[in-house]
Structure 1
Amino acid sequence: MTEIEPIFDKKCECRMCKKSFTSKKLRSRFTKVKDYDTDFCPNYTSEEANPILYHVEVCPHCGYSSTSDFSPYFPPGTIEVIQAKVCDQWNPHDLGQKRKLGDAIKTYKLAVYCGLLKKEKYITIAGMYMRLAWIYRSLQNEEQEQRFLKLASKTYVDSYMADDFRGTQVSEVKLMYLIGELSRRTHQNDQAVKFFSKVIEQQNRSIESGIIEMARERWYEMRDSQKTANQA
């Protein structure tokens, strides 16, 4: 009997240059989560079994980078901009092989750049910023983690204001919680309290009781630490 490998080749077609390529993916049965951080960052049992490393697909031919969250639609003029700023500058190489944390960081930064040029939804860009922050957290690089948590926080607020999260897997309650939690982690305390309060206000209207309870816990933690600070 053939042993199934955790990592396999996914066949892809680039939406920019239309050429075929393969990108490594991790089979879900091999991913085991130990626990989650309060911003939903999953902690896996091993670095090798981390699907976040393989979330981005990079075309080795032209450099166009995207995730499954990207829309197939290119707004007018964006193909020409990506061609000039990404594809024409690209030195062909393959990032679709087995990845370390450093390789994954490169792929996310490429995808963020392509996503911004393509005018992807704020919710899509914010998700990539947050995953970058999680990777830097696992590398214990607090400076870069803070940088990308702040970018994620700002872009999630943009998504909330633009209402562009509708129709995605991120509900309004989860989005408000994320803004609150990322704000708390980046010491934007007023904004954190504001969004945690918005989540708690949904307690009689939402089925997402777990997220509402998490918001309440964070709110109490912030209140208690503020009391301690005032007494010091």
Structure 2
Amino acid sequence: MPSAAERTRTLVQSTCSAVLIIPGLNGAGAQQLVPDERTVDADGDILLVFPADSPAVRAARYAQDDELSAVLEITDVAPVSVPHRIRGRGWVSGWLTRVPGRAVPGRGTVRLEVGEASVDDLWGADSVEPEEFAAAVPDPLAEHEAELLQHLHAAHSAEVQRLCGLLGERGDAATGAGTAAVPVALDRFGLRVRFTGVRCFDARFDFPEPVSGMTGLRRAVHTLFDAAAS
């Protein structure tokens, strides 16, 4: 399974919605604190790009070291229609400073130096140390996960449904009228499917080995489908 640091790093560098929470900053609407861009630099600090007149940029303009604390909150929502669509949340807290000269005109960049992080997702709840976050890499499939899940759901729903045959007796609850199988998460280690109906539960289908790109992913998914069809 992916480590907590990898899962958190994947959330930070994904397109999931995020908001920067700055304690004591009054009068700022939540939308004003949604960064336009998020990246992680070589030191493991998070760089956030906002409009130049954003409250976050103004607050960080003269901040130094640990003067201004902040929390980046990320919410991960499944890109397919499924019950309980929120797949997880991540929090990265630390200290905010301005980064001059990094953004295009009309934009400002702030640096969030990571003090601690945590994630609560389909794998469970875990905390992450700054060193672990800096050393982790995002999942290689994260950039394309949404379109891949949507494709599996739209074009291969029958094959996904047949995966219940790999669950043994547990798969009996995923068959019959009114049941559906929705691919809800995908990473280099495997595919997670949510079976809905009288009972709603998730099942994890591991790949024979971790994949690093699209070619390996296609082989791994077809191996799962072939096993379910045999």
Q: TM-score range by the shorter chain?
A: under 0.3
Identify which of structures 1 and 2 has the higher relative contact order when contacts are C-alpha pairs closer than 8 Å and 6+ apart.
2
Q: Considering only CA atoms, is the larger Rg found in Structure 1 or Structure 2?
A: 2
TM-score by length of 2: 0.24
Structure with the higher fraction of residues in strand conformation: 2
Structure with the higher fraction of residues in helix conformation: 1
